[in-house]
Every structure is written in C-alpha cells, then in structure tokens.
Structure 1
Amino acid sequence: METIADGIIRLGSRLHNFYLLIEGGKATAIDVGCSGDLGTLVEGLAAEGLTLDDVEGIVLTHAHADHAGAAREAADKGVTVHAHRDEVDRLLGKYEGKEAITPLDLPLWKPAVWTFLSTLARRGVLKQPRLIDVTEFDDGDTLDLPGKPVVIHTPGHTEGHTAFHVPDKKVLFSGDAMVTIGLIGPGPGPQLMPKQFHNDVDLATASLERLEGIEADMVLPGHGDAYKGTPESMVEKVRARLGAA
C-alpha cells in the first residue's frame, strides 16, 4: 500500500497496481487486481477508516484478470462495477475472441517472465469469475463517483480499454495504455506493454494520441511506479522507446 497523493492510494504488488480514489469519506476503486486481491482492497480501505460499503463504484480500465479478477466478489458484496461498453462482453464471459495471453505466448526462457507469472499466480490471476451485471460508460463520460473520473477510451490493449482523468487531482490513470515497468523486458521507464499483451498493438500505439492533451501532473499506470510528469511528456518517452526498438 502506498499513498500517492491526498486521497489516492496505490494497492497491488510490485508488478500490478490498482487504486483507491477517496473523496468525502467515500471511494472509487480504479481496477481491483486479481481474484485474490479483494482482501488487499479491504485492507487498503480499512487503513483509511473505510469499508467496502464506502466504495461507491469500481471502474475498470479493462477486463484482464490482473485488473478485474476481484470484481465479481466485490459485486457479490454489493459494489457496482463500471466498464466501457466495448469491454462488457469480456466481463460477462460472452466474448468470442482471444481473451488474454497464455504462458506459451511469452518468451519462457527469460527469468522475468517466470517472476511475472509466479507473482500474479499467487494473487489469483488464473481464476476470473465472470460478472453478472456491468454498468456501462462511454468515451467522454464524467462518472458520478468520488473523484468524478472522466472516461478516455484508449482501445488497442483491449477493445474497451479506458484511461481515467481526474481533473481536480491533475492525475491520469493510464491502465495498460502506458506503463512504467517492463514485465518481461525491457527495463523500467515509460513504455507500451509488450506486444504479446495487446489485442491490436497498432491501435494501442495510435491511442497514445488520445492522452497527449490531458492536463495532469502525474500518470498512474496499471504496472509500475507513478510517472511524475505530464501525459504528453510520458507519451513522448513511450514513442522514443518504440522508435529505438
């Protein structure tokens, strides 16, 4: 657990992040981690004097199991789950495409791959109970939840992948649109997720344009440490890395 800024708490592990956005004694959860991470969410809330009943909504960047795995258990306890309309079929188990990578898609000779897989496996990434109901949002919506997150549709990683801008905090939650750690290489720093992780890597690259004009002083990714700078400067560094690859 890490306090990023007033009212923003980072939860998860060294290799995956989810967040609490707290305002007026209520909270929005930005993702909820793997299926075994609900206890981490509850502990993070308790440290702030809150309970799961104080979570007014979970907003998902996307449906992958390291971001949405605990969503069903939270929903069963009464928390509303929100996601982009293009992500709903994945969450409900109705998606007909390839949902996520398998270990065979990865360079298994790299030690970093085994570290990544074993860390998330311990958190329950191999299990993802499907949701029964999802509240849909669309690009440009301002959600009536603590922090008033603004939806920025950034497809490519998945069809409905979403970043969230919180103007009052001057923060962008980038999900897996941009990260700051190389899960299976390269090293740390602003970058795209490895190509194996994307549904459409070209579309994920094009979606960077949607983040350039966002007014924020910090980017909080789904993987890696906070980026202390503007989204535009982070996009520039991601593109520079792509150009050097």
Structure 2
Amino acid sequence: MSDAHGIVTIDTGFQRPRFDAAYLIVENGRGAFIDCGTQHSIPAMLDALAAHGLQPGDVDWLILTHVHLDHAGGAGALMRRLPNARLAVHPRGAPHMIDPEKLVAGATAVYGEEEIARSYGEILPIDEARVRVVEDGDTIELAGRPLLCIDTPGHARHHLCVWDERSRSWFTGDTFGLSYREFDNDDGAPFVIPTTSPVQFEPEPLKQSIATLLARDPQAMYLTHFGRVDEVQRLAVDLVDQIDAMVALAVAADAREDRHAWLVTALTGLYISRAKAHGCPLSPDDVRALLGVDIELNAQGLEVWLARQNRASRPVQVR
C-alpha cells in the first residue's frame, strides 16, 4: 500500500517478516526503487510494481543506500528485469556493483557458500554503462520529483541517504538505526537501536550523519529495518545516547580476555533495559531472540572499531 506521497513499503522477505524493507516511489507513472533486498526479493519487488499499475519498463532508478547484501544483494538480478532503469550508488559502492567478486568473496569467507546461496542467492554484476555514481549533494530526478542524495558515513563509508522534499522524509538505510515493529509500545511509538555492524563503524561520523539528517527537520524516516518511523527527534536522541553507551562498553571490554562474550552480554543488557523503559511488550527472552543477530554484528563492529583505534594510538617505531 502506498502512502499519500506515493511511497510504497515492500517487505523483501529477508530472514523474517518485517525485518528488511525496500521502497518504491511512484511519480507520474514512473517508479524508483530504494534498496532491493536479495535475489530472493525480486518477486516482491515486481509484485509491488504490478499492484501500483507499473510495468518493469516504467522504473527509472534503483537507488542503493549502501552495498551491504541485505540492501543490495539482488541489485544485479533486479536490474536485468528493469530494462530502462539506472543504478544510483555511492562512489565507494559502485565498483562492487559493477564487479561483485570481492563483495561475494568477503561475504562467503564469513558465512560460507551454502549460507550465501540460501540467504542472498546469486549476486550478479551490473553493466557499468547503467551505473550512475552519486556524489554528495547530487539530485536524481524521478519524473520531475527531486531526490537528493547525501554522503552519510558512520555505519559504512559507502552509505548515502536520500531526501524526498515531497514527503519531507529521509530514506536512511542503516544510518538512522534499526526499528523493528515488534518493539513498538502500546501507543505505537517506535523503539530504535544503532547498527554498528562490521567493518566500517565510526561513532563520530555516524553521530554527525544523524545531525545532518535532522537539520532538514524531517517529518519521518524510512528505515530499511523496518519501515516508516515518526517521532524523529526523540529517536535521534535515543540513537546518539546508545552510540555513546555502546562505545563506552567497547572500551570497557577492550582489555578482557573474554572481550567478545562480555560485550555481547553487555549489549544484550543495554537493549533489554532500554526496551523495558520504552514500554516494549516483549519479554527479555524475546528481545534477546529478535536482536540476537544484530547484537552479534554490533559486537563485531565495535571490536573492529577498537582494533582501528588501538592501531592508531600505537607509538611509531623509529629505527
């Protein structure tokens, strides 16, 4: 279902319902997708077009917030179904979409070939002639509707967010955190946590990116995980508070032999406590189960950040 501004939320079906979203913007009979899930998500993407009176040839753009596979793994396969579309992507992400070999190799090293096939399907290259590299401040036109793209590092260095003046909203990828609908309280108010997944988490750039989004006084944020959220100012405060708390936990864990396990436990406690204070209806066990993968990835991302910090502070050896 589209909202008043022609924005359609698509559940890509990745991992579980209401976990991973893509968006379709419909304007004057033309369409643009923002993010696309995996190869397994293509039927849902095409169904969304049909439900809103569009054909694959009516899509002008596939815009990627970044090239992590839950957002972009299906881009190559989807572009083969969209004959007139161009791909818009951050300069750092474009090479991985044109030649995904390194992207696939890195993911396979972490998850294994079987899991890559199960979760993401085949990751296909995109013809360079169909790729538009989007610099900070570039505008993409969709049938006269401007979509402003800005560089938003912090979660990843190849991350951009998309401003839609019509709805006064941002499409935020992972910059504005994760807000699963199961965590909404009884008043429908959303709960949010940051995502620090490896390997490019940087706390200060992430906080600055959040501030940049707020500077336009947005009415809503469209998150990939999951859906539209309002109460933007409150959520932004929550995100910044948690980024600081998570960094403090990482620093406290740094010298421990059981660093990873301790950090997973500490992050779990942080999110359970904050969910309870928010009035989230889930039990601690349910919070732990629903956030289990995110907690593991956040712990890994914090540890990668710690390793970079430690290398940067190491004295230079003079010989």
Q: TM bucket by the smaller chain? A: 0.7 to 0.9
- CA positional deviation for 1:92: 2.2
- CA positional deviation for 1:81: 0.9
Match of 2:133 in 1: 136
**Aligned partner of residue 199 in structure 1, secondary structure:** coil
One-letter code aligned to 1:7 = G
- Report the identity percentage: 23
Match of 2:226 in 1: 224
The equivalences for 1:188-227 within 5 A come to 189-193=191-195, 195-202=196-203, 203-227=205-229
1:61 and 1:99 map into 2 onto residues whose CA distance is 19
1:55 is aligned to 2:63: no
Match of 1:114 in 2: none
Moved more, 149-158 or 202-211: 202-211
TM-score of the aligned structures, taking structure 2 as reference length: 0.62
1:151 is aligned to 2:149: yes
Higher RCO (C-alpha 8 Å, min separation 6): 1
Change (3 A) 1:68 1:54: same
1:96 and 1:57 map into 2 onto residues whose CA distance is 25
Match of 1:164 in 2: 162
Moved more, 202-211 or 152-161: 202-211
- CA positional deviation for 1:70: 2.0
1:102 is aligned to 2:110: yes
Match of 1:85 in 2: 91
- CA positional deviation for 1:157: 2.5
Q: Which runs of 5+ in 2 are unaligned?
A: 247-319
Q: Which has the higher helix share?
A: 2
1:173 and 1:59 map into 2 onto residues whose CA distance is 10
| Larger Rg belongs to | 2
**Aligned partner of residue 20 in structure 1, secondary structure:** strand
Q: Deviations over 1:83-129 (max 9, x none)?
A: 1112112222368689559359xxxxxxxxxxxxx9x976x425322
Change (3 A) 1:233 1:8: same
Match of 2:236 in 1: 235
Over aligned residues, Cα RMSD in angstroms? 3.0
Change (3 A) 1:160 1:170: same
Kept after mapping to 1: 8 A contact 2:32/2:59: yes
1:234 and 1:5 map into 2 onto residues whose CA distance is 23
Kept after mapping to 1: 8 A contact 2:27/2:142: no
Kept after mapping to 1: 8 A contact 2:176/2:223: yes
**Aligned partner of residue 144 in structure 1, secondary structure:** strand
Change (3 A) 1:92 1:192: same
Among 3, 21, 26, the alignment partner of 2:25 is 21
Kept after mapping to 2: 8 A contact 1:167/1:215: no
One-letter code aligned to 2:172 = S
